[in-house]
Structure formats: structure tokens, C-alpha cells
Structure 1
Amino acid sequence: MKLVPEPRDVAPRLATGAFILNSGLGKLKADEETAAGIHGMACTAYPFLDKLEPGTFVRLLAWTEVAVGSALLVPAVPSRLAGLGLTGFSAGLVGLYLRTPGMREPGSLRPTQNGIPLAKDSWMLGIGLSLLGSGARWGCCRGRRRCRR
């Protein structure tokens, strides 16, 4: 197992990890009004979250962001594992964009002006999927000169 990410993975991991970590650290300081707003929007897309108190939800979200951001920034975490966390997290954000009314133009995936902040999170899904495929080999030979079937 390699403890250093591939050079091609470093830039996306640093940029995305720093962004998510900063967002999580900011949410740890969220006041009640901010927590209620974030919780309300999440409940619109994912009604089962209504069971959680807004403060509890935002703390869980913040620590999730801190964990995912940190995993991306720590070189000892394999890129595929960091990509798995990022893919799961960003899939939830893309789901929030797709399920929240008013975020998209009617009958389209194109964002409204209000939807742009959520639509831009789709880049994280792409980076997560890319990291999941990091180090994957295509074909039966796995980089060997000759296939030994």
C-alpha cells in the first residue's frame, strides 16, 4: 500500500479537501438561525432529516465535512478511500440540488440563479469518482508486458 498519492491526485485532493474542511469548520460555529436554515433546506430534499434537531444536524454535517476534508488532505489516506468519502458526500449535495424546488429551471438540469451555489457542487462528485478510479488498471494485464492467462 502506497502512503503517497499519485501526482495526478494531489491538486484535486488539496483544492477539494481545503474547501470542504473550511466549510465544516465554519459550520461548527453556526448559530441557531443558521442551523435552522441549513436544516430546513436539507429537510426539503431529505424529509427523514426532520427527526433531527437543527443544531444536532448541523454539528453532524460539520463533523462530516471536517472528516471528508481531512481525509482528502492527509496523504496517508489512499486516494480511493478519500474518493469514496467524497463521492458519498457530494452525491448527497447533488441530490439536494436536484430535489430542492426552485434550484433548477423547469424541465431542465440547468440551475436557476438560486441554484448555482448547489449546482457547482457537482464538480466534487466528478473529483470523487475520479479518485475512486485512481490506480485502477484497465484490461487483464494490469500494466504487464504480456498477459499470462
Structure 2
Amino acid sequence: MRLRDIPTRLATGAYIVHSGITKLSAGPEQVAGLYAGATSAYPALTRIPAGKFVRLLAIGEITVGSLLLVPFVPTALAGAALTVFSSGLVGMYLRTPALRKPGSIWPSQAGTAISKDSWMLAIGLSLLIGAAEDDED
């Protein structure tokens, strides 16, 4: 891991781990909301029961966040995990019209919270690009 990657990996990893841990104790209303949002964007997810989906999502978040936090995990691997994870979230944002202002990619009030996932996608891509550049040296 390069020194330049530490702040990004720490901040992003801690945020994602915290989000995952919080979801492990999600109540019925939160489970229903997460499930409804995910299944409306990705209908294939309806094959997974709501509670199981949220538990898998939580475990996925904790895993991705941990890959970012653990210093011996290569930046390329951590960046790839973050890119894949955040791509799904950005996809959900783009597939859900209520999260955006009409005819725009800019978030509506309802979409402001999830629009931050675009930053995680940018961070993941930056980690991948940085790792690729390091391999060229």
C-alpha cells in the first residue's frame, strides 16, 4: 500500500464497515426499505428473502470495508472490491427515477443520501488506476 492511499482507504473502509455493522441489527422497517429499493432497481433480487438479503448486504459491506482497512491487502484488490460494490449502488441510483431530479442525473432530495455512492465509485477507480500505474514503474 502506498502512503497516498492510506487516507482514502481508511475513511472509505471505516464508513463502509460501520454501514454494514449497522445493517446487521436492522429493524423490520429498515429491512423493508432496503429490500424495496434494491429489488425495484434489480428485480432478480426478489428471489432472496428480505431478511437474508439485508444480512448478505451487511456482510458484503463489512467485507469490502475490511479489505480497504487491512494494510496488507493489495490496493488493486481493495480498489476492485470497492469499484464492484459501488457500481451496484450507483446502478441502483441511476435505475430509480425518484432518486433524481426529473430529466437529470442530479439527486432529488430523496436521492441525496445515495448519490454519495458515486464518490465511492470514483475512489475505487482511483485506487485501481494508482495500482496500475505503480505496476508500470
TM-score for both structures, normalised by structure 1 = 0.87
Matched, 1:59 2:55: yes
Q: Which residue does 1:25 correspond to in 2? A: 21
Q: Which residue does 1:48 correspond to in 2? A: 44
Consecutive unaligned residues of structure 2, counting only runs of 5 or more, are none
Matched, 1:103 2:92: no
Q: Which residue does 1:146 correspond to in 2? A: none
1:37 CA drift (Å): 1.2
Higher helix share: 2
Q: Structure 1: which 4+ aligned runs deviate by more than 6 Å?
A: none
Q: Using the alignment, how far apart are the partners of 1:15 and 1:113 within structure 2?
A: 25
1:96 CA drift (Å): 0.8
Deviations 1:5-64 (A, max 9, x none): 101110000000000000000001112221111101101100001111110000000000
Query: Computing the radius of gyration over CA atoms, which structure comes out larger, 1 or 2?
Result: 1
Q: Which residue does 2:119 correspond to in 1? A: 123
Q: Using the alignment, how far apart are the partners of 1:85 and 1:135 within structure 2?
A: 13
Q: Using the alignment, how far apart are the partners of 2:82 and 2:8 within structure 1?
A: 11
Q: Using the alignment, how far apart are the partners of 2:22 and 2:29 within structure 1?
A: 14
Q: Which residue does 1:74 correspond to in 2? A: 70
Q: Using the alignment, how far apart are the partners of 1:37 and 1:109 within structure 2?
A: 22
Amino acid at match of 2:47: K
Matched, 1:90 2:49: no
Aligned length: 136
